[in-house]
Amino acid sequence: MINFFAFQFQSPGPILFEMGFISLRWYGFLIASAVVIGVIIAQKLGEYRNINPDLISDLVIWLVIGAIPAARIYYVLFEWENYAQHPQDIIAIWQGGIAIHGAIIGGVIAALIFSKINHQSFWELTDVIAPSLILGQAIGRWGNFFNSEAFGIPTNVPWKLYIPPQNRPFEYIDFNYFHPTFLYESLWNIGVFILLISIFFWNIKHNNNLKNGTISLVYLIAYSLGRVWIEGFRTDSLMVGFLRIAQIVSLSAITFGIFGLIWLYIFKKSLPDTKV
């Protein structure tokens, strides 16, 4: 439940619906909802760019097939010490444990292959998909809330999140309330969605003056800026030594995005696989 007077969050649990041996988890429901909403939005945006809606539908299937397994593999690889002791949990994706950066990598690979097969510009497709992707991330983050996972360090802020003892890290077992990093990222992603949609329709209004790839690059920069900040609160970051992997990847994405925009608007050149 959510106490709107104190803004204290507490998950009602991971199960949305249960009848006998059949159960539906919030995590799966939210991911499915994000996909459906994303397809609808991307198809509408695609119409403004003269992209066949059926092509968008086909691409989304490729993205799901590429992104979800990659997100799980990415997470399992960095948590292999734990999964090696419980290999049966490797496929238990419904329990949580997917990494958005793994999903992005898998999705990019799938989109590259799809664009080549269909003789379509990769960057033109991703410009249409990017707003749906960030909105889907905003929706999907609430799966972390229902699973009581991916939370931040202990806190007593008014919008604090209660975490059950069984979900707390050992070193924080005596703390009840934590930063709701799922909420921080969800709100940040909604802001990025509004930014991307605004850029998209500004571009339409101004006769498509922006170069292909611009919206995708802005997505990389804007999302990654928030992730670098929010990741600093997390207690469950994937690590290599003392380094947080998500922050390293995010900083790399910011660098790539900035260089891409410089390439487009300072050097006045097009990205590979595009004409404008």
Give the total residue count for the chain: 276
Please report which confidence band the pLDDT of residue 1 belongs to, taking 50, 70 and 90 as the band edges: very low
Residue 5, pLDDT score:
45
Q: Look at residue 71 and tell me whether its pLDDT is greater than 60.
A: yes
One-letter amino acid identity for 214? T
Taking only the tens place, the pLDDT of each residue in 134-179 is 999 999 999 999 999 999 999 999 999 999 999 999 999 999 999 9
Residue 77, helix vs strand vs coil: helix
Residue 88, pLDDT score:
80
Burial string for 202-220 (b: 16+ CB within 10 Å, else e) reads ebeeeeeebbbbbbbbbbb
Residue 167, pLDDT score:
94
Residue 4, pLDDT score:
45
Strands ordered across the beta sheet of 2-3: 2-3, 8-10, 161-162, 177-178
Q: Look at residue 102 and tell me whether its pLDDT is greater than 50.
A: yes
Alpha helices (H) in the chain, listed in sequence order: 26-48, 53-78, 80-83, 100-117, 122-140, 142-147, 181-205, 214-231, 245-265
Residue 27, helix vs strand vs coil: helix
Taking only the tens place, the pLDDT of each residue in 251-271 is 999 999 999 999 999 999 999
Residue 204, pLDDT score:
94
Higher-confidence residue: 186 or 83? 186
Q: Look at residue 63 and tell me whether its pLDDT is greater than 70.
A: yes
Sorted by where each begins, the domain ranges of the chain are: 2-265
Residue 259, helix vs strand vs coil: helix
Please report which confidence band the pLDDT of residue 7 belongs to, taking 50, 70 and 90 as the band edges: low
Residue 241, pLDDT score:
79
Please report which confidence band the pLDDT of residue 242 belongs to, taking 50, 70 and 90 as the band edges: confident
pTM: 0.90
* Helices 181-205, 214-231: crossing angle, 10 deg rounding: 160
Give the range among 1-5, 42-46, 90-94, 220-224 with minimum mean pLDDT.
1-5
Give the range among 39-48, 57-66, 236-245 with minimum mean pLDDT.
236-245
Q: Is-contact 106 67, C-beta < 8 A?
A: yes
3-state secondary structure 167-208: HCCHHHCCCCEECCHHHHHHHHHHHHHHHHHHHHHHHHHCCC
Please report which confidence band the pLDDT of residue 275 belongs to, taking 50, 70 and 90 as the band edges: low
Residue 239, pLDDT score:
82
